[in-house]
């Protein structure tokens, strides 16, 4: 290929491929984070667009970086494997949101190789694909949610364990407003009991539960806010380009090296 015989041109153009990956992922994830926060859903077309652009950029990179591109075949095989694992996690319920799973599967195609944005970035470079760094960073960012709920509940004197890490208290009459899952269930006799993992309830069960809870009026009940994972996923994506794989970097500093 002509491009493979012009090293200087390859050196100039290849960084633009990663720049386009950064722009594509950040733009689409930012829009998804907005819709997820507003309506707790993200349009499927976003992930189709991301996957299409990802494949186009892979083709461009292959043209620019042939035959070195071929030597990266383990990463190319690993991308669909990563996507399959994410689908499996969603299938068994370990990944709650369908949009979150689709986003991660599209990111597997967008960032199939280790990230090396510039000589200095990311700070902690890894041999793992960029999609791993995004997932790990997103999970670390999501861990801030229980800490935030803890701070809120401590400030308001709501100290029931483990509720203070996963929920907040609201007036029973207002639980139907906003986006949350019930953490307290009222049975037919009026007795209240805890349900920590209401995210696995059907929409009909949630609606019926909230209807009974609202009858408690001014009583304060525990609810679990539906935190949109798109927000920490967006943070994880940006951090992957700037800081790198934070989880792997932390493990390298904690575990002793020989």
More confident residue, 90 or 77: 77
- On average, the pLDDT of the chain sits at 86
Q: Which of the two residues, 257 and 138, has the higher pLDDT score?
A: 138
Q: Residues 183-241: pLDDT tens digits?
A: 888 777 777 878 777 666 777 877 888 888 887 888 888 898 888 899 999 999 999 99
What DSSP state is assigned to residue 244?
B
Whether 8 has a pLDDT exceeding 70, the answer reads no
Helix (H) or strand (E) segment spanning residue 14: helix 7-39
Question: Per-domain residue ranges for the chain?
Answer: 3-143+229-254, 145-225
Over range 91-113, report the average pLDDT: 88
Greater confidence (54 vs 3) lies with 54
Which has more confidence, 178 or 159? 159
What per-residue confidence (pLDDT) applies to 93?
Answer: 72
**DSSP codes joined into one string, 112-170:** -S----SSS-SSB--SS-HHHHHHHHHHHHHTHHHHHHHHHHHHTT---TTHHHH-EEE
Cβ neighbours of residue 204 under 8 Å, at least 6 residues apart?
Answer: none
The better pLDDT of the pair 249, 228 is held by 228
Cis amide bond preceding 8, omega within 30: no
DSSP type of residue 124: B
What is the model's pLDDT at position 2? 45
Segment holding 27, helix H or strand E? helix 7-39
Condensed to tens digits (0 to 9), the pLDDT of residues 57-85 reads: 999 999 888 888 889 999 999 999 999 99
Q: How far, in Å, CA of 222 to CA of 195, rounded? A: 10
Pairing relation of β-strands 184-186 and 220-225? Answer: unpaired
Among 34-38, 39-43, 112-116, 245-249, the minimum mean pLDDT is found in 245-249
Give the global pTM: 0.85
What is the topology classification, in CATH, of domain 3-143+229-254? 1.20.120
pLDDT category at 146 given cuts 50, 70, 90 is very high
Burial of 124: CB neighbours in 10 Å, binned 0-12, 13-18, 19+: middle
Say how far residue 189 (Cα) sits from the centre of its chain: 40
8: three-class secondary structure by DSSP: helix
Neighbours of 85 (CB within 10 A): 14
pLDDT-based confidence at 91, cuts 50/70/90? confident
Give the residue with greater pLDDT, 10 vs 6: 10
């Amino acid at each position: 290929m002509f491009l493979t015989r012009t090293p200087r041109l390859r050196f100039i153009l290849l960084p633009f491929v990663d720049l386009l990956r950064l722009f594509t992922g950040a733009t689409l994830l930012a829009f998804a984070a907005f819709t997820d926060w507003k309506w707790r859903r993200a349009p499927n077309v976003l992930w189709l667009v991301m996957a299409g652009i990802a494949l186009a950029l892979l083709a461009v990179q292959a043209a620019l970086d042939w035959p070195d591109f071929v030597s990266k075949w383990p990463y190319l095989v690993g991308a669909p494997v990563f996507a399959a694992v994410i689908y499996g996690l969603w299938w068994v319920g370990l990944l709650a949101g369908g949009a979150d799973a689709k986003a991660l599967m599209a990111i597997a195609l967008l960032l199939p190789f280790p990230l090396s944005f510039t000589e200095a970035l990311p700070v902690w470079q890894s041999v793992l694909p960029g999609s791993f760094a995004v997932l790990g960073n997103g999970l670390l960012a999501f861990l801030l949610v229980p800490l935030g709920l803890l701070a809120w509940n401590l400030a308001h004197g709501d100290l029931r364990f483990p509720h203070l890490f996963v929920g907040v208290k609201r007036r029973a009459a207002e639980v139907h407003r906003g986006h949350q899952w019930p953490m307290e269930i009222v049975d037919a006799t009026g007795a209240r009991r805890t349900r920590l993992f209401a995210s696995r309830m059907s929409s009909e069960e949630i609606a019926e539960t909230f209807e009974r809870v609202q009858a408690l009026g001014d009583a304060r009940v525990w609810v679990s806010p539906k935190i949109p994972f798109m927000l920490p996923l967006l943070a994880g994506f940006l951090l992957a380009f700037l800081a790198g794989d934070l989880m792997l970097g932390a493990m390298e500093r904690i575990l002793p090296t020989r």
